[in-house]
Structure formats: C-alpha cells, structure tokens
A and B are shown apart, each in its own frame.
Chain A
Amino acid sequence: MLSKLFTTGALIFVALSTPVIAADDKIVITGSSTVAPLITEIGKRFEEKNPGVRVDVQTGGSSRGINDARSGLADIGMASRALKKDESDLKAYTIARDGIGVVLNSANTVSTLTDQQIVDIYTGKISDWSAVGGTQGPITVVNKAEGRSTLELFLHFFKLKASDIKAHVVIGDNQQGIKTVAGNPNAIGYVSVGTAEFEAGQGTPIKLLGMGGVAASVENVRNGSFPLARPLNLVTSKEPTGMTKLFIDYTQSADTHDLVKEQFFVPNGP
C-alpha cells in the first residue's frame, strides 16, 4: 500500500511538471465579494464575445482589490465603495450603484423611523420597540463588521463613530444580515436595497424602511433621490490599455445592464 501511494504521488508530480499553456490574454481581477459575482458573470459574457480571452475573478474584500491593483498582482481591483483620499493614485470606474437601506422583520409593527431614531437605536439610547411606537420587545441591533464599506457608509451618513454603536449581532456579508433579521422579529439591520427588495418579494419576512421620506427602492437609488448609496468600482493603478481597457469599457456599457440587474444592483446612466 505504501509503495502504491508513493507511485501514485510520483505519477501525479510527473503530470504536474509538464508545461502548462498559459491563456494568451488573461485578465486577473480581485477584490470585493459584493462585486465579484457580478464581474464573474460579465467576465463570462466578455469571454464569449472575445474568444481566447480569460477573465479570472478572485474575492477577498475591497482592501485586497485596492492593494492588488496597486501592487500589480491584479490587472483590475474591485471595490464596493468610492476611493478614499489616500487612494487618489488609483483610477476608479463605476460599473453600478447599490443603495443601503434599513430593514426590519416584517412582523414588526413599526413602519417608519426618523434618522434620529435610527441613531438612537444604534447607539443604545433606545432599546425597546415601544419607544418608537412599536409593540414592546427588546431591539436586536444588527451591525456590520469593522472595515466593511456598508458600515463606513452607514457611519458616515449618520455621523457616527464605530465605537458609538452598541450592537447585539455583528455580521459579515449582506445575506447574513438578511437571514438574521428574517429570523428575529425584533431585529433591525441595514443591507443592500436591491437584494432586500428581491428577498421581500420572495416571501422572506423582512421589510425595507424609507429614509428621510424617500422610499428605499431600486428606482429611487437609480434616480438619485435615495440618500444612502455607494458606487461599485473597478480600480486600476494606471491608465488601462489593451484588453483591460476593453473589459472596463464593456462593464460600463449598456450591454451589461441586464447582468447588473440580475445581481440586484443599479446600472449606470438613466
């Protein structure tokens, strides 16, 4: 048995050492897990239209996308936020937008919250739904983990610091937020508007709240009236050329709008 194992191992390594033909045109894209599914789908369509080209998409977060684009490890980085001040050396190309809306469980009787009430709930000043006109029950505050772009957007919008928030559940990705709120009648969270709209339509027990009198809907994110939105960006370290440029142009074209909508994001333009 021992010798058999070794023989198999040796054979595999011989097979491995044969040279591999590299794809003649390979675009490596890394970064935000929010953007990755969309770019994967756009990449597949791009590959169909440009035979011989390969688009490899890897996740790992917006920071990784920024870092890899800067270091040249990736041709293109993905970031689910606008560039920060210290990232002005990079170039960003917005491919879609995503609204962030506050969600409650659909069993919750509360139907609107003012900005101040949301702030008070998230900072722990209000801890029971009866204080904002709901039926009595302890509020479960669902927050995003430190560093996530949705959290940064949320904090910035409500002028809060990360340490101001008194959370009961901290989540990572978007769907974890939706599942957590769906499973807890007293929970409040904030998630991507498009996905929440879709999930609510599918019968998941969640509901989106409006913000500042504007209903949270994909339509209002598209026309710019919904206040809490973020761009989904591709970033490069220098002016893109060749296939990279072709790909970025393609992601921004109307040809990909159906794919953007399939991922519940908001396409560019009117």
Chain B
Amino acid sequence: MSRTARDTCLLLGLSVAAIVASGILLLIILFLSTEAWPVFSQVGLLKFAFDEAWYPTEGAFDLKPMLVASFAMSMLSIMLAAPLGIASAVFCRFYAPPVVRRAYQWIIILLAGIPSVVLGLWGLTVIVPLILMLAPPGASLLAGSLVLALMIVPTVALTTQAALASIPQFYWVGAAALGLSREGTLLGVALPAVRSSIFAGIMLAMARALGETMAVLMVSGNVVQLPTSLFDPVRTLTANIALEMAYATGDHRSALFVSGLALTVLVFILAWVARRSGGQVVHA
C-alpha cells in the first residue's frame, strides 16, 4: 500500500471511530425521547415547568426544584473541587518531595476509583451526622456537595497535571531567565498558559457531578423543594430517576425519562457555554 493510501485508510478508520463515539449520544437522546414521548404528547411540556409540585402519581410533574438542585449541587461541588484539584496538581508537580508526591499520586488515583456507593455510605454515616450537629436534618445540599467534591477532585487534579506537563520547557526557562519567583512563574506563566485545558477538566468534573446518582441519593435528603439554604435537603434529577424508576409505571415512568432528558439539556447548555468561553487557546 502506498503512503497516501495508508493515510487515507487510517483517516477513514478514525472517522468511523469518531462517528461511533459521537453517535452514542444521539442513540441515548433518541432512547430518552421515545421513552419520554407518551407523557409529552399527553400532558405537554409546560406542565413540567409550571406545575405546583412533583407528585407524579397524582398527576403533578414540576421539575424546576430538581433542576435547580442538580445545578446548585454541581456548582457548589465544583467550587470546592476546582481549587483543591488545581492545588493538588500544583502540589504534585512543584511542591511535594518525591516520596510524598508518589504517595499523593496514589491517593488521587485511588480516590478516582472509590465507588460512589462507598463515598455515599461514608457520607451517610460520617458527614451527615456531622452536619446534623449544625442544622437538622443533616442530609442536605451541603452534604451532597461535599461528597461530590471529594469525588471529582481527582478528575480536576489529573487533568490539570496532564495540562501542566504539556507546558513546553522554554516557558520554564524563559520564566527563570526573567528572574520570576516560583509564585510568579506558577500564577503568572504556568497556570495561565494551560488555562483552557484546566477549564476543560473542570467541565468534565462538573459533568460528572451532574450525572452522579448513588452517592447523592444517599446523602442529600431527596426532598423535592427549592433549597433556601445549604442545610436544606434537596432532590437532584438523577436521584429522582434512581429513587422512582424501579417503581414507576405509565406516565410516571415517562416523566422520569423527561427528567433524564432535562438533565441532558442542562449538560448540553453547560458544555456549550464552556466551549464558547474557554474556546481560545492561550498557546497561540
């Protein structure tokens, strides 16, 4: 095979892979839509936004509180996890002595692999009683955010580390030649240089937080209401699906697929916004 023919074959193969990879999302959306369709066609879209409450067995389908809860919890968790994750990566790369660094690297990797069920169990038996001492009922927006934050720190840390590793050598040499301090190099050169990569990692982590089910279900209280404080119990869209799907029939079941669809739309908006604002590459 000639050189160009081989390259064409390669490109063809890669394109097929990429089409399959992005096709999965379409399949999932198609699946959610078909399952959600019965309730859409019967009660209409508006009921999901303007109903009084969520009592699907009594015909009330308000999704707003759960949309807000999902959004609030993932925002809170990323606000905690982003600084911690970035600091973790900086720590590993620049501050930690070799032995500590190895150990710390393991902690991050293992944390990434702790099942959400185990984190949820820990949250339920350790974190929730602690929060209860501050304000009842303990199972709350705050508990969910804390557990989620711990869960997504590794994602931010590992992607940031990869980004920092990608900084060309001459950046460091240049900064050294300019006589920049360690702090100056980090905050003024290194981190800004890989801003968009870090941002992409944060988005990945936030998406993970939005999609997390089991841990959230175990610690956040699952009451369908608009939270007014950190200590209010809330129900996220994912917890809603997990709690009710197994027992739902008819319109109720369909309505749960609507919440799945709503969540996908929320993630889509976030991802799109992230791409718009994080689009510029600093390297240029």
Closest B residue by C-beta to A162: B55
Q: Is residue B125 within 8 Å, beta carbon to beta carbon, of the partner chain?
A: yes
Q: Is residue B87 within 8 Å, beta carbon to beta carbon, of the partner chain?
A: no
The interface stretch among B20-28, B133-141, B156-164, B196-204 is B133-141
Closest approach, in angstroms, between the C-beta of B69 and any C-beta of chain A? 12
A contact set with B: CB distance below 8 Å = 33, 59-64, 67, 138, 140, 145-149, 161-163, 167-172, 176, 179-180, 183-184, 186-187
Q: With a CB–CB cut-off of 8 A, which chain A residues contact B245?
A: 61
B223 pairs with A33, CB closer than 8 A: no
Closest approach, in angstroms, between the C-beta of A87 and any C-beta of chain B? 10
A172 pairs with B217, CB closer than 8 A: yes
Q: Is residue B248 within 8 Å, beta carbon to beta carbon, of the partner chain?
A: yes
B222 pairs with A170, CB closer than 8 A: yes
Contacts A170-B233, A172-B243, A183-B132 known; 12 new A-B pairs at CB < 8 A: A33-B246, A61-B245, A146-B244, A147-B244, A147-B248, A149-B247, A163-B58, A168-B223, A169-B139, A170-B235, A171-B222, A172-B242
Chain B contact residue count (CB 8 A cutoff): 33
Closest approach, in angstroms, between the C-beta of A199 and any C-beta of chain B? 13
B contact set with A: CB distance below 8 Å = 53, 55-58, 60, 124-125, 128-129, 132, 136-139, 217-218, 221-224, 233, 235, 242-249, 252-253
A176 pairs with B242, CB closer than 8 A: no
B56 pairs with A176, CB closer than 8 A: no
In the bound assembly, the distance between CA atoms of A52 and B97 in angstroms comes to 60
Closest approach, in angstroms, between the C-beta of A13 and any C-beta of chain B? 15
Interface centre among B224, B233, B246, B248 (most CB of A within 10 A): B246
A179 pairs with B221, CB closer than 8 A: no
- Are A176 and B57 also in contact (CB < 8 A) when A168-B223, A170-B223 are? no
B223 pairs with A167, CB closer than 8 A: yes
In the bound assembly, the distance between CA atoms of A60 and B221 in angstroms comes to 22
In the bound assembly, the distance between CA atoms of A163 and B55 in angstroms comes to 7
Q: With a CB–CB cut-off of 8 A, which chain B residues contact A179?
A: 124-125
Closest B residue by C-beta to A6: B13
B137 pairs with A169, CB closer than 8 A: yes
A61 pairs with B58, CB closer than 8 A: no
Choice from A148, A167, A176, A187 contacting B124 with Cβ under 8 Å: A176
Q: With a CB–CB cut-off of 8 A, which chain B residues contact A147?
A: 57, 244, 246-248, 252
B222 pairs with A186, CB closer than 8 A: no
Choice from B60, B137, B249 contacting A140 with Cβ under 8 Å: B137
Q: With a CB–CB cut-off of 8 A, which chain A residues contact B248?
A: 63, 147
Closest A residue by C-beta to B54: A146
- Are A161 and B58 also in contact (CB < 8 A) when A169-B222, A180-B139, A184-B132 are? yes
Q: With a CB–CB cut-off of 8 A, which chain A residues contact B253?
A: 63
Interface centre among B217, B233, B247 (most CB of A within 10 A): B247
A148 pairs with B247, CB closer than 8 A: yes
In the bound assembly, the distance between CA atoms of A171 and B233 in angstroms comes to 11
Closest A residue by C-beta to B256: A147
Closest B residue by C-beta to A168: B137
- Are A64 and B57 also in contact (CB < 8 A) when A169-B221, A176-B124, A184-B136 are? no
Closest B residue by C-beta to A170: B222
In the bound assembly, the distance between CA atoms of A52 and B218 in angstroms comes to 40
Top 10 A-B residue pairs of the complex, sorted by shortest distance between their CB atoms: A61-B246, A147-B247, A170-B222, A145-B243, A140-B137, A168-B137, A183-B129, A163-B55, A169-B221, A61-B247
Choice from B58, B242, B249 contacting A63 with Cβ under 8 Å: B249
Closest approach, in angstroms, between the C-beta of A186 and any C-beta of chain B? 6
B129 pairs with A146, CB closer than 8 A: no
- Are A63 and B128 also in contact (CB < 8 A) when A146-B55, A169-B223 are? no
Q: With a CB–CB cut-off of 8 A, which chain B residues contact A180?
A: 124, 128, 139
In the bound assembly, the distance between CA atoms of A149 and B125 in angstroms comes to 26
17 contacts between A and B (CB under 8 A): A63-B246, A64-B246, A145-B244, A146-B252, A147-B57, A147-B244, A147-B247, A148-B247, A162-B57, A169-B221, A170-B221, A170-B233, A171-B222, A172-B243, A176-B124, A176-B218, A187-B137
In the bound assembly, the distance between CA atoms of A138 and B231 in angstroms comes to 14
